[in-house]
Chains A and B, each alone.
Chain A
Amino acid sequence: AQSVTQLGSHVSVSEGALVLLRCNYSSSVPPYLFWYVQYPNQGLQLLLKYTSAATLVKGINGFEAEFKKSETSFHLTKPSAHMSDAAEYFCAVSPSGSARQLTFGSGTQLTVLP
């Protein structure tokens, strides 16, 4: 069985401040981990993915995430928030070697304050 827990359903940051969105996973097998972003009335877009290569993963729009096995975490960060980053972010897990069956967290709504 696998699951993800996203800590904080709402996060607010000032423009230019650090963005940190938390994700902890539970998986009985080595996982693949993903971060998706969803803008209002749009589908999900992949930000980045971890597939057992480098533990620090760089994605689009300046986001990155670090896989920490000891902490079972895959937190998403961005050094400087931009107004356009305001959206909902979902962490997802898939068992490696699976047919890409994703289990999503409940999401974190990011608000960027001017």
Chain B
Amino acid sequence: EAGVAQSPRYKIIEKRQSVAFWCNPISGHATLYWYQQILGQGPKLLIQFQNNGVVDDSQLPKDRFSAERLKGVDSTLKIQPAKLEDSAVYLCASSSFLAARGDEQFFGPGTRLTVL
């Protein structure tokens, strides 16, 4: 079974530029998550999708971050404009809605963003 795919793996941009990350979840997984992991910290949930609808985006800085999941499969996360403090690893994860409670989230390898 193929895992969660993310691209690019690394991105370096100047502050105030825009950037987009792509995620392809495990086939059949209805739930998709985007996390931000700042160096030295645990992942922090940014947004959760159920199919193509948003379940929770309470921690998403909506003035600069946006995310979409068209057709309930792939997802993109965009930052516009980027700030220095956005430097982090952005992790995508997916899980099966039909699994029992407490089921596993499967994580992709992440995209490491450096904002100069």
Contacts and interface: CB of A to CB of B under 8 A. Distances in A.
Interface of A: 9, 32, 36, 41-46, 49, 51, 90, 92, 94, 96-97, 99-107
Dominant secondary structure at the A interface: loop
A90 B45 contact: no
Contacts, number: 63
A90 to B, nearest CB: 5
Given A32-B102, A99-B55, A100-B31, A43 B45 contact: no
A106 B42 contact: yes
Interface in B9-45: 31, 40-45
A96 B107 contact: no
B75 interface: no
Contacts of A100: 31, 95, 101-103, 105
Dominant secondary structure at the B interface: loop
Interface string B92-105: 01010000111111
Given A43-B4, A51-B101, A100-B95, A106 B41 contact: yes
A101 B42 contact: no
Contacts of A41: 109-110
A100 B91 CA distance: 16
A43 B109 contact: yes
A106 B30 CA distance: 28
A22 to B, nearest CB: 15
Nearest to B41: A106
Given A44-B43, A104-B43, 11 more contacts: A32-B101, A43-B108, A43-B109, A44-B107, A46-B104, A49-B102, A94-B102, A100-B31, A105-B42, A106-B41, A107-B40
